[in-house]
Amino acid sequence: MFEKLKQNESLTVYKPEVLIFPTPQEVDMYAAKIFIAQVKLKPNSVLTLPTSSTPEGMYRLVVQTYKELGLEFSQLTIFNLDEYWPLAPNHEASYASYMERNLFQYVNIPPSQRYIPNCYADDPQIEAERYEELLRQNPVDLAILGIGPGTTCHIGFNERGSSVNSRTRYVLLDEQTRKANARFFPNPEAMPLGAITQGIGNILETGSIMLLAKGENKAWGIQRTLEGPIGNEAPASYLRLHPHVTFVLDQQAAKLLNTSAA
Ligand code: F6R
């Protein structure tokens, strides 16, 4: 299907489900509910997961529910969306450290079932190919995504210009992404110029997708993604080519939508 876009033939475009909640906390609650429901429905699910600020509340609630209900995560397999490259092993701003802090230290997902690109691999392209092969062997049931800051509309670290068919690879980060994410680095000057990310093609192959967005600084990107043309100037707009996508937004992130009931 995605080859067709290359050839400019017509494609099936779907209308994503859009849920708008009054507060960011309600976005977290809904996202955690979907995460837990997926694990209950299929304990051996393969999940693609995001990092950074947006999903922190979701992870907190997932961990809380896991403890309260005595859940089992031992059959889950996790593929992270992306990782900075290069960074020192165990660097506090790495997404591997983030996942340890926010989820992995609290739940019983075996280390052998947690995948994240290696931030200190010698060669990022070889590392990307290794990751791609692992993804090929483990079809993903549910992908949870955030959306990039400003006008980037990135998903994973697929910045503007990314192809609909793109696969796991090394990419350079957009200047807006570097500015927004510098806050996570003790020394912002030392922030890497690039990252290893799953491609748009990988994301579109998953069974279902839930994109989370909170706050006013996501409003432009959400409007462009849902109501603008589909194309590589707004990589998140490619999600409209997937039949099972839900956008979970707070009122601030949804405020520029024409169709918004906010
Ligand atoms: C992170 C990722 C990125 C972030 C995006 C938003 O794993 O894939 O696409 O989701 O940069 O970051 P926050 O949530 O900090 O606004």
pLDDT for 54 equals: 98
Q: Taking residues 221-225, what's their average pLDDT? A: 98
Query: How many angstroms does the Cα of residue 226 sit away from the middle of ligand 1?
Result: 18
Check if the beta carbon of residue 66 is closer than 8 Å to that of residue 73: yes
Give the span between the Cα atoms of 177 and 149, in whole angstroms.
6
Model confidence pLDDT, tens digit, residues 156-189 = 999 999 999 999 999 999 999 999 999 999 999 9
Distance 9 CA to ligand 1 centre (A): 31
Q: Which residue has the CA at smallest separation from atom 4 of ligand 1?
A: 146
Q: Tell which atom from ligand 1 comes closest to the C-alpha of 157.
A: 9
pLDDT score of 2 more than 80? no
Query: For residue 101, what are the CA distances in angstroms to 41, 61, 80, 124, 142?
Result: 26, 14, 14, 24, 22
Say yes or no to pLDDT of 85 above 50. yes
Q: If you ran DSSP here, which 8-state letter would residue 234 be given?
A: B
What's the mean pLDDT when you consider all of the chain? Answer: 95
Residue 155 DSSP label: B
Amino acid code (one letter) for 236: A
Residue nearest to atom 1 of ligand 1 (CA): 51
Q: pLDDT by residue (tens digit) across 53-64?
A: 999 999 999 999
Residue nearest to atom 5 of ligand 1 (CA): 148
pLDDT of the residue at 11: 83
Amino acid letter at 148?
A: G
How confident is the model over 91-144, as pLDDT tens digits?
999 999 999 999 999 999 999 999 999 999 999 999 999 999 999 999 999 999
Q: Tell me, what's the pLDDT at 261?
A: 47
Q: Strand pairing partners for 79?
A: 48, 115
Place of tokens 């950074």: 52
Q: Whose CA is nearest to atom 12 of ligand 1?
A: 52
Mutate to test the pocket of ligand 1, among 116, 147, 177, 178 (most ligand atoms within 8 A of CB): 147
pLDDT at 212 over 60: yes
Q: Tell how far the Cα of 261 is from the centroid of ligand 1, in angstroms.
A: 25
